[in-house]
Structure 1
């Protein structure tokens, strides 16, 4: 068999084909992928047909509920993700010649990290590394792990159990979930309480895209009970203000609760469940494989100890 030249292989697809295919795999929908790419459904469908024709094999199975990748499609997806990651790193590296930036770090992190301790961490880090820029995105734990596995993020910050085959997981601190109430609430003097006992009262929750909301909602759903959700807010400060105003009670990290209790009238009650204590972890593909400035950021994160500064 005659090996294809690099030029011939490069002609099998272009960057738009790869981006489209990655979106189709992520969304499991050709229609939604076409919308994300700002192209018509017919154009997107033709691109996939052309791609399958060039490779000489089926890449997608079209089903009533969407699309599924064929084994060949799964292989293409893995290579496409790696290729686009390398392309993004090349773009970031070349960016330094335009605006002086010599490094770019993309971080996927949970709600607590984004809102509570990463602003301080990044303020310190970026002051000492002015030629590095950072993209910080709030994601769910499973999205954080998947982002690191697929190479769409360089560093992940998660709370609670983290499983990712082949990844380096570095535990750097411990967080605890507590109940916050108004000082005159019936639960304010409980000292400690089970999560089930809180379900008799209206709760203040974070927005549905937050890690904590998904975590607590999963616990309630798994027990067959119901959470009385009075209102959802965008952050822990807003949650604490609602609690102080007696709109409801709220569950949040102890570090955030202690910080806001300095300026608000709150009572904090310990939750007795084992899951209330959660390990914070940094997740990377390979610490040694990170650029030196990204390794330096991991060091800063791991030395932050946010629970000791609450």
Structure 2
């Protein structure tokens, strides 16, 4: 049985689209050519791979199995290319990263700016995802690297710890909670909160903690980043729970008070998740080293 690598890559594009039209566009093929290639794959495997519907395509059980194998094959092809590229190991390749809100908005942009400046042949796709989607993405091979914070269950994956942060409460100067040394989440629930946007890992995590107490979070406004949260808090719109590192950074330019959150879940261990570090392309392993180095430098400066 012979497989064309271009067909496998096309199948991955279609599955992730998830539509034949989007997959064909990403593979730079006409819709007719893409459809023919998928049918050829189905003939070779003697199995139907896709169900088509009005919203795009849905993978059959055989399609799900092929997607896992196709991703593994293409990862090894990229590994081979990076190992034998003219620029040396780690100088070329494409890296997909699923990460939580803090990573996407706070420290990964700074790390990636330096990393990519030194490697013009490397491209990166950084996506904000919920923790469960990060874990699933690494497990099924849809992403090379996952970045999470807090306790997780990820059987079969390697967890590469790189730093520790904690959640804190930002309040306006003069707020009733501003004079406290520490507060619990319950202490904050009588006040309106400023939060990140819907779908952010931070908001989802905070809602889980509040719902565990049998109540709901009083949201006054939702914004797109931690800087915007701090600006709203400074203006007296509400209070906000955010990583202490982000709160301290914005406190340098804003009138904020930061109060310790006395909760066991407030301390957040940050991990990188991979299936098997040694099996990753050199460019991904180089990025793992860059994240660790950045974290160690920050810890040393503190």
> Any stretches of 5+ residues in structure 2 without a counterpart?
26-32
Larger deviation, residues 14-23 vs 180-189: 14-23
Contact between 2:100 and 2:200, CA under 8 Å: does it hold in 1? yes
82-91 or 159-168: bigger deviation: 82-91
**Is the contact made by 1:22 and 1:81 (CA closer than 8 Å) also made in structure 2?**
no
Structure 2 residue 236 is the aligned partner of structure 1 residue 270: no
RMSD after superposition: 3.8
Ranges in structure 1 where 5+ consecutive residues have no aligned partner: 25-32
- For the pair 1:233 / 2:229, whether they are aligned, the reply is no
Distance apart, 1:16 and its partner CA: 4.1
Please report how far the alpha carbon of residue 207 of structure 1 lies from its aligned counterpart in structure 2 after TM superposition.
Answer: 1.1
Residue number in structure 2 paired with 1:20: 14
Determine which of 133, 149, 158 is the counterpart of 2:122: 133
Task: Please state whether the residue corresponding to 2:70 is helix, strand or coil.
Answer: helix
Map 1:159-170 to 2 at 5 A. Answer: 159-170=149-160
Out of 91, 94, 98, the residue aligned to residue 104 of structure 1 is: 94
Give the SS at the match of 1:223.
coil
Residue 79 of structure 1 corresponds to 69
Runs of 4 or more above 6 Å deviation: 43-51, 60-63, 87-97
With over 3 angstroms needed to count, the CA separation of the structure-2 counterparts of 1:72 and 1:137, relative to structure 1, is: closer
Tell me the TM-score normalized by structure 1: 0.76
SS in 2 for 1:119: helix
| Partner of residue 114 from structure 1, selected from 96, 100, 104 | 104
Question: 1:178·1:270 contact (CA, 8 Å) conserved in 2?
Answer: yes
Q: Give the aligned partner of residue 162 of structure 2.
A: 172
Work out the number of aligned pairs and report it: 293
Q: What is the Cα deviation at residue 103 of structure 1?
A: 3.6
Q: 1:282 aligns with which of 240, 253, 272?
A: 272
Distance 1:17 1:213 in 2: 34
Query: What's 1:28 paired with?
Result: none
TM-score by length of 2: 0.78
1:220 is matched with 210
Q: Equivalent residue of 2:97, what SS?
A: strand
